[in-house]
Amino acid sequence: MKTSRITALMLRQFYLIRGSVTRVIPLFIWQAIDIVIWGFMTKFLNEFTHTNMNFVPMVLGTVLVWEFMVRVMHGTSMAFMEDSWSRNFLNLFASPMRVSEYLSGLVLTGITTSMFGLVVMLILAMGVFGLSMLIYGVMIIPFILVIVLFSISLGIFGCAIMLRYGPSSEWFVWPIPAVIAPFVGVFYPLSTLPSWMQAVAHIFPPSYVFENMRSIIAGNGISIQSLIIAAALALIYIMLACWCFVKIYNHALKTGLIARYSAESVS
Report if residue 98 touches other proteins, rule: CB under 8 A: yes
Taking the complex as a whole, how short is the minimal distance between the CB of residue 120 and other proteins, in angstroms? Answer: 25
Work out which of 25, 37, 49, 88 binds other proteins, going by CB under 8 A: 88
Distance CA 193, CA 201 (A): 9
> What is 72-141 written as a DSSP string?
HHHHHHHHHHHHHHTT-HHHHHTSS--HHHHHHHHHHHHHHHHHHHHHHHHHHHHHTT---GGGG-TTHH
Distance CA 93, CA 104 (A): 15
Work out which of 45, 97, 126, 145 binds other proteins, going by CB under 8 A: 97
Report if residue 263 touches other proteins, rule: CB under 8 A: no
Taking the complex as a whole, how short is the minimal distance between the CB of residue 103 and other proteins, in angstroms? Answer: 14
Specify burial of residue 187 (Cβ count, 10 A radius: 0-12, 13-18, 19+): middle
Which of these ranges, 3-11, 51-59, 197-205, 233-241, lies near other proteins under the rule CB under 8 A? 3-11
Residue 64 or 79 having the CB closest to other proteins: 79
20 neighbors 116 (Cβ within 8 angstroms): no
Distance CA 225, CA 208 (A): 10
Residue 18 or 50 having the CB closest to other proteins: 18
Report if residue 265 touches other proteins, rule: CB under 8 A: no
Residue 131 has, within 13 A of its CA and on its CB side, a CA count of: 29
Report if residue 11 touches other proteins, rule: CB under 8 A: yes
Report if residue 24 touches other proteins, rule: CB under 8 A: no
Residue 189 or 256 having the CB closest to other proteins: 256
Work out which of 49, 168, 192, 255 binds other proteins, going by CB under 8 A: 255
Closest CA to 163 of 225, 81, 59: 81
Taking the complex as a whole, how short is the minimal distance between the CB of residue 77 and other proteins, in angstroms? Answer: 18
List contacts with other proteins (CB under 8 A).
2, 4-5, 7-9, 11-12, 15-16, 19-20, 82, 86-88, 90-98, 250, 253-256, 258-259, 266-267
